[in-house]
C-alpha cells in the first residue's frame, strides 16, 4: 500500500520502519513543518493515511483526509469532544475512518478483561476501584485515551461508580449518563504519571482491607502499536464507515 503518515514523531517513525519491512511505501509524510502538503494532489494515489499527531491538530487532519476521499486511521487521543463531528463528516463523504485509543492487541485483550472484571467487582462493595497510567514525558494528554476507554468501560458495568476524575482535577468529569456526585466512593480516580521513556503502562486496582486485585498491561516497545495501526490501514481498504479495534479483532 501507499500510506501517508500524518505526524512524524516516535510513533510515526516506528510505523514507517515496520511498514517498509512489510513492503508498504510512504510517499507522503506530514509534520508540523509542512501541514500545507495535506491536499488533494498529494493524497490522490494514497491508499490510506495513518494519523498520529496532536489533540489540537487531529480533527482537522482527519476531516481533510475524509473530505478528499482518503481512508484514515488515527491513534491520536485527547479530542473526544469532536468525535461525533468526525463521524458526521465520514458519513457525509462515504468515507472510511478507523480510530483506536490504543492499537496494541494486548491492550485490546485488556479491554475485554477489564469489562469482565468490572462486572464481577460491582457485586463486592468492599473493594475500591482506582486506576494508574504511566507514559513518557512527551505524551501531551492526561489521562491517556486508553485510560479513559478503560474508565468508561468500568462505569458502564458499575452501579456505584458514576464518573471518573483525574487526581487533583476538579470538578469530576461526568459522562452523559452521570448523576451528580454525592460522595467520593462514586468517583473512579485516575492517576496519570509522566516520566522518562515509559512506552505505556495501565494498572486497574481493586483494593479492600484484606487484599488487592490488580490488572496490569505494560508495553515493552512501540512495535505493538505500529503493527496494529498497519493492520487497521489494511482493514479499511474498500470499506465505508467508522471502525475500531473491536471490529478488527472481533472482540
List the catalytic residues.
135, 139
- For residue 236, the tally of other CB atoms under 10 A from its CB is 21
Which residue do the cell numbers 452501579 mark? 159
Which residues touch 175 (CB under 8 Å, ≥6 apart)? 152, 155, 163, 164
User: What gap in Å lies between CA 36 and CA 176, rounded to an integer?
Assistant: 37
155: exposed, middle or buried (Cβ count in 10 Å: 0-12, 13-18, 19+) = buried
By residue count, the chain amounts to 251
Give all strands (DSSP E) within the chain, no chain letters. Answer: 2-6, 25-30, 48-51, 72-74, 96-99, 128-135, 163-166, 173-174, 187-194, 201-207, 212-218, 241-243
- For residue 167, the tally of other CB atoms under 10 A from its CB is 12
| 3 state DSSP class of 125 | coil
- For residue 174, the tally of other CB atoms under 10 A from its CB is 16
Q: Is 78 left (phi over 0), alpha (psi -120 to 50) or beta?
A: left
- For residue 209, the tally of other CB atoms under 10 A from its CB is 7
Which residue do the cell numbers 502538503 mark? 37
Amino acid at each position: 500500500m501507499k500510506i501517508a503518515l500524518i505526524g512524524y514523531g516516535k510513533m510515526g517513525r516506528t510505523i514507517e520502519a515496520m511498514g517498509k519491512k512489510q513492503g508498504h511505501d510512504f510517499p507522503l509524510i506530514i509534520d508540523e513543518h509542512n501541514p500545507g502538503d495535506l491536499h488533494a494532489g498529494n493524497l490522490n494515489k494514497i491508499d490510506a493515511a495513518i494519523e498520529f499527531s496532536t489533540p489540537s491538530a487531529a480533527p482537522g487532519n482527519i476531516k481533510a483526509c475524509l473530505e478528499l476521499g482518503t481512508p484514515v486511521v488515527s491513534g491520536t487521543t485527547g479530542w473526544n469532544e469532536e468525535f461525533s463531528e468526525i463521524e458526521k463528516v465520514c458519513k457525509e463523504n462515504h468515507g472510511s475512518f478507523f480510530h483506536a485509543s490504543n492499537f496494541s492487541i494486548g491492550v485490546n485483550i485488556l479491554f475485554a478483561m477489564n469489562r469482565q472484571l468490572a462486572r464481577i467487582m460491582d457485586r463486592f462493595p468492599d473493594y475500591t476501584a482506582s486506576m494508574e497510567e504511566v507514559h513518557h514525558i512527551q505524551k501531551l494528554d492526561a489521562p491517556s485515551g486508553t485510560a479513559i476507554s478503560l474508565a468508561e468501560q468500568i462505569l458502564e458495568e458499575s452501579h456505584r461508580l458514576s464518573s471518573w476524575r483525574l487526581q487533583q482535577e476538579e470538578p469530576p468529569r461526568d459522562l452523559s449518563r452521570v448523576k451528580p456526585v454525592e460522595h467520593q466512593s462514586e468517583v473512579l480516580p485516575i492517576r496519570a504519571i509522566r516520566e522518562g521513556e515509559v512506552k505505556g503502562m495501565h494498572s486497574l486496582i481493586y483494593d479492600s482491607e484484606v487484599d488487592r486485585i490488580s490488572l496490569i498491561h505494560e508495553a515493552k516497545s512501540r512495535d505493538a502499536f505500529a503493527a496494529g495501526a498497519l493492520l487497521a490501514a489494511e482493514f479499511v481498504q474498500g470499506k465505508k464507515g467508522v471502525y475500531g479495534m473491536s471490529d478488527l479483532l472481533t472482540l
